[in-house]
């Protein structure tokens, strides 16, 4: 299998590979990089409209670097994993500052930029500069685990190291960009996580998992551990101008996004609202809770709605009244957006 692995994939891609995605058929590192970052942990169908809106607002890397990060975050709202957006902005600025606005061709230099790991750097070098650099994203790990019968969870250091060595040994001398894309396409469209289409796979006759009826077992899952449960109370202070939101600190969960004020456990809502937001609230009601799952924990959001709220601190940059007409363009985390959309109209 090692000897003709790449050639089988390249031949398969010629007939069955994806060729019409908006970030394909270009050697522009900016567009390739943007798509690679957006596609991390996110489906293609979800990414396409975000990708197109992002490019419409920031057509070039220098446009992105010159913009304030507050202009970037709304375009990522709902896409999740918001550190990607912050690192995207930092990376654009680093490319301008250190490389004159153009991505370096060397994969090792690309990997030094903010938010870019080894696999993404290698993909950019392969697609844009024809470098002979292997990739190892989730799709490739799944194909390798099944095809070569690799035991163990691919996220462990030992298994990942072995997979990198395998990826390097399988690299063809030519058509590296096509081969890189073929690996991604095979994992995304044929060797999928659930219900893979083994009858359409160019590697099926040599696949260990297919031969041994272990498709459902490989790749091996992350060792199970208890996912922590957390809960937080959020204040929905509704006034004549909308609902009061604050901008989160730049790091941490929902960094840089607009969010509802979070009430510390045990604090009195009226006292906390007055002390920290200059807001006066006299009555509040608890709305239905919302459960949201992050990568490492579950969060139950418990919203408290206080009507007829006023605030003397809205002039602060971090605070903002948001009306329903503002929701679509605001940098809101998905669960906060859901809570806002559930709020009954203000009583007049």
How far is 296 from 292, CA to CA, in rounded Å? 11
pLDDT in tens, 297-330: 999 999 999 998 888 877 767 899 999 999 989 9
Do both 127 and 183 map to the same domain? yes
Do both 187 and 246 map to the same domain? no
pLDDT score recorded for residue 348: 55
Do both 202 and 268 map to the same domain? no
186-200: b (≥16 Cβ within 10 Å) or e: bbbbbbeeeebeeee
CB atoms within 10 A of CB 328: 10
Do both 195 and 253 map to the same domain? no
pLDDT score recorded for residue 3: 79
Do both 201 and 73 map to the same domain? yes
Mean pLDDT across the chain, nearest whole number? Answer: 94
Residue at which a domain ends, from 211, 237, 252 = 211
* Residue 264 domain boundaries: 229-342
Active site residues: 36
Do both 175 and 275 map to the same domain? no
pLDDT score recorded for residue 314: 76
In a domain, 111, yes or no: yes
In a domain, 1, yes or no: no
pLDDT score recorded for residue 288: 96
Do both 335 and 204 map to the same domain? no
Which residues of the chain have a pLDDT value below 70? 1, 316, 347-348
- Lookup: tokens for 301: 């959001």
This prediction has a pTM of 0.86
How far is 215 from 210, CA to CA, in rounded Å? 6
Do both 270 and 175 map to the same domain? no
Residues linked to residue 235 through DSSP beta bridges, in sequence order: 304
pLDDT score recorded for residue 347: 64
């Amino acid at each position: 299998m090692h000897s003709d692995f790449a050639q089988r994939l390249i031949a398969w891609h010629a007939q069955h590979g994806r060729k019409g995605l908006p970030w394909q058929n270009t050697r522009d590192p900016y567009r390739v990089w943007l798509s690679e970052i957006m596609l991390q942990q996110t489906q293609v169908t979800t990414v396409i409209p975000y990708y197109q809106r992002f490019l419409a607002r920031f057509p070039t890397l220098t446009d992105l670097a010159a913009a304030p990060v507050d202009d970037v975050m709304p375009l990522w709202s709902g896409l999740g994993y918001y550190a990607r957006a912050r690192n995207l902005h930092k990376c654009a600025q680093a490319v301008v500052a250190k490389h004159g606005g153009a991505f370096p061709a060397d994969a090792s230099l690309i990997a030094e930029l903010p938010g870019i790991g080894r696999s993404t750097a290698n993909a950019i070098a392969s697609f844009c500069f024809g470098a002979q650099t292997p990739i190892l994203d989730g799709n490739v790990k799944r194909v390798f685990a099944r095809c070569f019968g690799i035991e163990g969870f691919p996220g462990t250091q030992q298994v990942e190291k072995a997979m990198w060595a395998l990826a390097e040994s399988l690299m063809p001398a030519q058509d590296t960009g096509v081969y890189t894309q073929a690996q991604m396409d095979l994992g995304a469209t044929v060797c999928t996580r659930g219900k893979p289409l083994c009858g359409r796979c160019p590697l099926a006759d040599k696949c260990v998992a297919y031969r041994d009826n272990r498709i459902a077992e490989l790749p091996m899952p992350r060792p199970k551990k208890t996912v922590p449960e957390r809960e937080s109370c959020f204040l929905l202070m509704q006034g004549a101008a909308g609902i009061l939101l604050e901008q989160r600190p730049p790091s941490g969960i929902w960094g840089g996004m607009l969010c509802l004020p979070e009430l510390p456990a045990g604090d009195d809502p009226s006292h906390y609202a007055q002390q920290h937001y200059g807001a006066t609230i006299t009555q509040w009601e608890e709305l239905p809770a919302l459960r949201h799952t992050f990568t490492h924990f579950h969060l139950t959001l418990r919203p408290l709605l206080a009507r007829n709220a006023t605030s003397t601190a809205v002039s602060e940059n971090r605070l903002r009244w948001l009306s329903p007409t503002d929701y679509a363009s605001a940098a809101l985390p998905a669960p906060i957006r859901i809570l806002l959309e559930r709020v009954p109209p203000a009583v007049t």
